[in-house]
Structure 1
Amino acid sequence: MTISRLDLKVFKPEQLGSSDDAGGQRTKLAVESGKLNELFRAISDIDHAQSAVDIVKCYPALDTPDTSILLDGHVFISKKPTDDLVSLLIAEAATLDDADRMTDMVEILESSVRAGQLIRNRLIGFLEGQDTFPKSYLQSSYLFNGTEYWSNVTLLQGQTVVISVEYPGAESALYPRFEHFCQIQETVTGGPTGIVKFKPAIPFITPNYDITINGESGCTKLRYTSDNDGIKYHGVTKLTAASTTNTLAVESTQTELLPKVKTVNPLTGKSIVEGGSGDVPSTVIKNNVSQPYIYGQYTYIFDVPDILDNDFVNEVLGFKPRLTASNFSYWNISVTGTTVTANTTSNLPGVDTLTIEYVSAAKYGVYSSETAFPDFKKISLGTTKMVLTFLNTAHGSVSMIETSSGNFVSGGVRLVQLDYHTGAVTKFLDARGDFTVHYDCLIEESTSSANTVSFALATDSPIYDTFYVTISNAAGDTLLSGSSDNAGVITGLGINGNITDANVQLTFSQAVDLTTLRYDISETVTLSPPPELYGLNPLRIKNGGVVNAFTAWNTVSVQHTELQVVSSPAPAQTYNARANARFVDITDAEGKSLWTLANTHYTWVKATGVVTLNSDFTGFTAPFILTDTIGEIALVTDVQEQALILAAPLSQSYPIGANVSSVQNLGDLQARIGTVRDMTAWANNWDLDGSPATGNMNTVDFPIEVRNDTAVNEDWVLIFTSATAFRCVGRRLGQIATGDTLNDFAPVNPLTLQPYFIIRSGAFGGGWQAGEAIRFMSYAASKPVMLLRTVQSGHSQITTDRAVLAFRGNES
């Protein structure tokens, strides 16, 4: 039969709302065209005040009483909500099925962040409600040139980690397995003293490192997180420039799935920090060398004649040459002599220049305390690795890092003070007696004529006009200072420069001591709401809920709609829509469409765009709006922050403000039956078939019958209880009916009041025995779709709003 607009419907699930039971199977309750908000509850004053997230399920379907095919059915959000505080997304996940309820959909969304690489096992035991642990658990030891050093893990403020209880075998009643996702409250580096703060607190007690469960100790572990790309989001944005090419300039390609609250956090007394693993930040300033990034080129060679390349710099200090472009972790950096080679297997969207940062041998050198300290040099702050060996061998040796400028502490006791300008060591003996001292470090010129410096701020979200910097000159008798305006221009007493993004470039009027540089700046901090507020844990959503609404190698729909008011409608009136528009419609004040299959109210000629009225619209409510939409589907090959790159240019011109929507492809929609197979016994194992049965179904002459308007996505089994009788069980629906081989079997779907499928009696034949089974899959002419509506906190003057979900496809 011919498929028309009337046959494409979006059905409601068994239950709407936000309860744990919301969702479920497809019903026959269709969402009225133009009223997608029937799926969502109204936005309340509380929603506007504290923000809200609503998750709903719906079923785009081909609703015909046969098995017609809708080729490549697809859905997309064709229009942004009018209210800027409201956004809409489609969440696509292969694991979403017809039976899923709200709890299942939340679990799908929260699966995007999982426990990842192990940081430390044998963690201390936590008490219920505990939100700290010692910094010493962020340390691990390693050997360098036969000397033991401590390597320290750094966790950044806002970073998500997982504290878990893991062990083999049966679950312990006292220490159940669990994963606790938490956020680090302050940037911290492992060390002998201090604590690590995290939120939220641990909800259960955990086993101490010396407690054994099922033969394993050290069951409390600390892990990084890893991202799961099993979820794809689809959203809508607008063109910011007219386009006819394969490059679309858009407002944004990301959307905030979770509401956010922004606040200001002051940062004071910061020094120039670039790497280093000690408690004292390193003042090592990196040089850099750049070259243009070429899309599609995967190998770049940099000539770096002044590179300082050795194990102490690279491994001990952690100052390996690195790429500063986004996603640099996907690049392999290697050094041969004075040549740095960067290799990757993927492209970097939105990158113009590749820059290698490295430690320069022209500025720094490696010094070992076994040699005389050179003249006119000083030790670079934060680069000293020191080992103390006690003369009393019973006490062995300890490795130490700077805990404050020049001070080296072990077990909370200061043992050494180091003079950075002379290399001299002052010992402070304790009960363990005397010791020898060996240290390695970087050294630099004690006075410098260099009058410029560049460094990265300690925040990615700086507020420029709060920046204030001070520094002493090389002689130490003059203090230079400067501040920034809101454009990032820095001026002051002996200092000028600028801030670009989070990078600072300063020029001084005289030689300075960089170790004395200190700056203050405020940052914009985004606060994530507590999980219980929306039922979603922000720590388990990638990027804290800022998700990509567009992805490479996915299709997008570009469309633009023009509106005309139809005044005093009467037969024979004509209006001019755009020729060859994709869609033309007339709607009334309530959003009801006046389109009918018989053209009762208007006729549209696609080739010319002429719309002729055939009635006076009796029964509908004025005012009436004529809409015509031009549009096309295109393939995205690259996604940038504010641009989409298409595989081919657009076929026509689209103006500023045209909508660009990411498309979820549902595939061909048609009710059908999968392979039918039989087996000698049924063992409740849905993932495994058994040996063939004695009987055999004749589905060639008597195929199992289904219809688009009632078939469901389900795995079925008929289990024989005698030679002729059987039970029908669905994997998700459970037992739905009993039947026999002597009569047609047509179990009724209570949500549609039509059979799930029909098996004619002639298909069964004979020879069946009790315990044998028949298995098959039924496929619906619909697929479940998950919609997410986010309301940001704020005041809105918009009292009515609607979102538009487009459902399209091609007739077979």
Structure 2
Amino acid sequence: MQRTDLKLFKPQLISNDSFAGGHRTNNEVVSGRLNEVFKPISDVDHARSAFDMAKLYAAVSTDDASRLHDANVFISEQPADSLVNTLIIELPTLKDNHVLSDIKNQLKLSSTKFHGMAVSTAPSTLNTIAVDKTQAPLLPKAQKTVPKVGINAYSFTPTQGANHLPMRELSIKAQTSDLAFFSLPATDVFLDKPAYYSYGYLTSENSWLYLNPLDNPSDAAQVSVDVQTGTFNFALAKPLRAGSTFTWRYASALDYRYHAYAITSTLVLGSNEYIKPGTWRIKKAGESAVYTDNGRGIFTDSTGAVFAQGNYDTGEISPAGAFETTAPLADDLGCVVTVSTPENSAYPSKINFNLQTNSFAMSSLYLKLTTDTGAVFSAAADSAGNISHANVTGTVSSNGDVSLTILNNTKISRIDYDINELETIVIPSDWLGIDANTLPNNGVVNIISQYATVSVQHRERTEHSALTSGQTLAVLADANFVDVVDVNGASLYSPTDANYGYDKSTGTLTINAGISAFTAPFIVTAVQRELATVVDISNNTLTLLSDLTRTYPAGSVVSSVYVLGDLQALVKDERTLSAWQNDFAGTGAAASNSLNTQQYPIEVNNKGCIAQRWAIVFSSNTAFSIIGEDIGQIYYGDTLNDCVVMNPFVNQPYFIIRKQAFGAGLNPGECFLFETLTASKPFVATRATSPGHSIIEFDKSTLTFAGNKE
């Protein structure tokens, strides 16, 4: 078996029609030839988007039944056009006879897997490699810009007044996408009248949630407070997404105290204290009902009439005699008192908040900052998320987390922002031929998953206007794959090194005499690569099960691998039955005779054999018909001649049974059953073209088919 025996073949029909697909043919996908798999991208495709799908066969194309061990396919190069994305789809239930309508129905199954390609963002370590993404769109992406203007993110007033309501913050950043159980210490938590809630946080399902357990009973089960240790314990219903930050706000006993009239009848406020609006509880004189101030110091009764007014700064209530503060402890008359301290009254030098979205144009973030004197200045983020100004610096992450450092003792009292949010548009299904609503996450799929096999590749490619016999080139040493192609895309590889030879230890490529049969210019490609297993994914950093054999530079390719398994034409499960009952899996009483396949085995080769269960049904002792489970009745024969059942799609036999194997034959109605396994396996390749303009005239994807020969 040579490298040239590993081929990709087309099915009976390759197009976007629902009936395209079907069995393998002998029509090879020619490497380097334009539009071999997908049609050219048209102006209409770029205007409104397109989705193309093709069924292909990875096959060992030999005249014998040699085996390719652990065959695998993966995408090793994506198109240069950023509007185009290709994927490989692994469908465990895909059969040779399936067409595109069958395939589309299988896309939504939980067993379906997707394989794509990422690019490393930093040099690899022994067993980790950081990549730019682990998800990609199966379908075209269409987005519209939704401006959000004047959103208040932060306000602060360090005076004794109604606007100064300090809350302290705790946060944790998820390193993996399974963080749901964690604790945050808060020994100063205010327990008399607790107040706590979360900012919006991004879940592993890419959705935004808020946690407000004091107001929302469904959230209460997700957080508890250990009053002995002052610890918040979380059990989130949906775990955090890797890289996202969970921020928890709570009222601190350092900032608040509670005054209960039943314990101390007279309220005395210190010079640094005032009543927290909306927490003052009293009774109307002569009534048993308890009333709470409206946040502006006004008390109204059940009819809506004002009966008293309180002063937050002094604790006085007027008019005297209109209210009562004497009551049992159970009535809970009193108020929360805010304690102003140098710590909570100082303008902060660090400010953090979240934009409540992770789909936005980074460079559209515009901040309007107001100082304590009322002066206003602005700052903006660049395309990398960096924020720079004389008085403030910071960053915004792809998850929408904004972190600011205030400079020059600037006192910020308010921050508002504008942002262009990106809203994904679902492309009409009549354009694409597939409904995005039937797919998980609107068609954004995992292309690298935990426990996936990946191929890590470093590629060097050089162009040469001419090559001559005897010429030597210095290319990448220790390469696992080397090839030279001419202007027509024809590979110069030869098992005999007729056209070029490669010294792996030195990286020397020697051009040989066969070069004269090819047309310049030439492209030389050398690839270092190896397979690895991903055991963890944290913030787009892959942790591998075993160490890499070399360091791969930033810009290397990491491809998710579809492991096809062993490819070899085989025959198995041979048996006879005393009666044919249209059951290819049938077992039971054996026929009166048998076929001698021990001395005369059923012959198969890798080119013609297909995955099929077969029945040879005898109509007399010498005459029989052959039925395939999927392809139906295809042959009539007799025991006097060799049985050569041809595969018309590849012009090779499905199998051959020599006449000597039949012996005396079987009785009428009896049958011989067996199954053939193929040296090819179907898979699905897709191409999504998002709407937009492209100046790229010629483009390509590269798919690698590999394995180990025996």
TM range (shorter): 0.7 to 0.9
Within a 5 Å distance, the mapping from 1:14-53 to structure 2 comes to 14-35=12-33, 37-53=35-51
Deviation at 1:258, TM superposition (A): 1.9
2:595 maps to 1:692: no
Q: Does structure 1 conserve the Cα–Cα contact (< 8 Å) formed by 2:449 and 2:537?
A: yes
* Counterpart selection for 2:543 from 637, 645, 651: 645
Q: Does structure 2 conserve the Cα–Cα contact (< 8 Å) formed by 1:418 and 1:425?
A: no
* Counterpart selection for 1:787 from 660, 685, 697: 685
SS in 2 for 1:617: helix
Deviation at 1:72, TM superposition (A): 0.9
Q: Does structure 1 conserve the Cα–Cα contact (< 8 Å) formed by 2:136 and 2:447?
A: yes
Deviations 1:53-112 (A, max 9, x none): 21111111111111111111111222232333322211112122211211122222234x
Whole-Å separation in 1 of the counterparts to 2:366 and 2:42 = 40
Whole-Å separation in 2 of the counterparts to 1:323 and 1:523 = 16
- The aligned residue for residue 91 of structure 1 is 89
Whole-Å separation in 2 of the counterparts to 1:322 and 1:765 = 81
- The aligned residue for residue 65 of structure 1 is 63
Specify the code of the residue in structure 2 equivalent to 1:693: A
Whole-Å separation in 1 of the counterparts to 2:706 and 2:424 = 38
After alignment, is 88-97 or 65-74 more displaced? 88-97
CA distance 1:779–1:361, shift in 2 (3 Å): same
Identical aligned residues as a percent: 35
- The aligned residue for residue 175 of structure 1 is none
Unaligned segments of structure 2, at least 5 residues? 155-163, 210-220, 260-264, 268-273, 280-290, 305-330
CA distance 1:444–1:685, shift in 2 (3 Å): farther
Q: Which gives a bigger RCO, structure 1 or 2 (Cα 8 Å, sep 6+)?
A: 2
* Counterpart selection for 1:253 from 123, 134, 158: 134
Deviation at 1:27, TM superposition (A): 0.4
Deviation at 1:726, TM superposition (A): 4.2
- The aligned residue for residue 163 of structure 1 is none
- The aligned residue for residue 209 of structure 1 is none
- The aligned residue for residue 806 of structure 1 is 704
Deviation at 1:22, TM superposition (A): 1.4
Whole-Å separation in 1 of the counterparts to 2:3 and 2:139 = 35
SS in 2 for 1:674: strand
- The aligned residue for residue 106 of structure 1 is 104
Deviations 1:640-694 (A, max 9, x none): 45433323333234334333322211111111123224445555556x6343333
CA distance 1:520–1:597, shift in 2 (3 Å): closer
Unaligned segments of structure 1, at least 5 residues? 112-227, 274-282, 381-405, 407-416, 429-438
* Counterpart selection for 1:327 from 204, 219, 243: 204
Deviations 1:329-378 (A, max 9, x none): 99986655444445799998855x975736547489999xxxx9x99454
Q: Does structure 1 conserve the Cα–Cα contact (< 8 Å) formed by 2:381 and 2:388?
A: no
- The aligned residue for residue 303 of structure 1 is 185
Deviations 1:186-241 (A, max 9, x none): xxxxxxxxxxxxxxxxxxxxxxxxxxxxxxxxxxxxxxxxxx3x222222233333
SS in 2 for 1:676: strand
Q: Does structure 1 conserve the Cα–Cα contact (< 8 Å) formed by 2:371 and 2:410?
A: no
CA distance 1:690–1:75, shift in 2 (3 Å): same
- The aligned residue for residue 748 of structure 1 is 646
Deviations 1:275-323 (A, max 9, x none): xxxxxxxx9997543468788999754434455789x999xxxx88899
Specify the code of the residue in structure 1 equivalent to 2:204: N
Within a 5 Å distance, the mapping from 1:192-231 to structure 2 comes to 228=110, 230-231=111-112
Whole-Å separation in 2 of the counterparts to 1:578 and 1:561 = 8
* Counterpart selection for 1:600 from 498, 501, 507: 498
Q: Does structure 1 conserve the Cα–Cα contact (< 8 Å) formed by 2:31 and 2:490?
A: yes
Whole-Å separation in 1 of the counterparts to 2:418 and 2:474 = 62
Deviation at 1:41, TM superposition (A): 1.2
Within a 5 Å distance, the mapping from 1:319-398 to structure 2 comes to 326-327=203-204, 336-337=226-227, 338-341=230-233, 350-351=242-243, 355=246, 357=248, 359-360=250-251, 362=253, 376-379=275-278
Specify the code of the residue in structure 1 equivalent to 2:381: N
* Counterpart selection for 1:264 from 145, 148, 154: 145
Deviations 1:688-730 (A, max 9, x none): 6343333464443443322111111123334454555444333
TM-score, normalised relative to structure 2: 0.73
- The aligned residue for residue 113 of structure 2 is 232
Whole-Å separation in 1 of the counterparts to 2:577 and 2:194 = 67
SS in 1 for 2:656: coil
Q: Does structure 2 conserve the Cα–Cα contact (< 8 Å) formed by 1:244 and 1:651?
A: no
SS in 1 for 2:143: strand
Whole-Å separation in 1 of the counterparts to 2:79 and 2:114 = 17
Whole-Å separation in 1 of the counterparts to 2:503 and 2:510 = 9
SS in 2 for 1:6: helix
Specify the code of the residue in structure 2 equivalent to 1:236: M
CA distance 1:723–1:360, shift in 2 (3 Å): farther
2:522 maps to 1:624: yes
Specify the code of the residue in structure 2 equivalent to 1:689: G
Alignment: residue pair count: 626
- The aligned residue for residue 380 of structure 2 is 485
CA distance 1:88–1:713, shift in 2 (3 Å): same
Q: Does structure 2 conserve the Cα–Cα contact (< 8 Å) formed by 1:682 and 1:690?
A: no
Whole-Å separation in 2 of the counterparts to 1:284 and 1:677 = 83
CA distance 1:293–1:55, shift in 2 (3 Å): closer
After alignment, is 241-250 or 17-26 more displaced? 241-250
Specify the code of the residue in structure 2 equivalent to 1:635: T
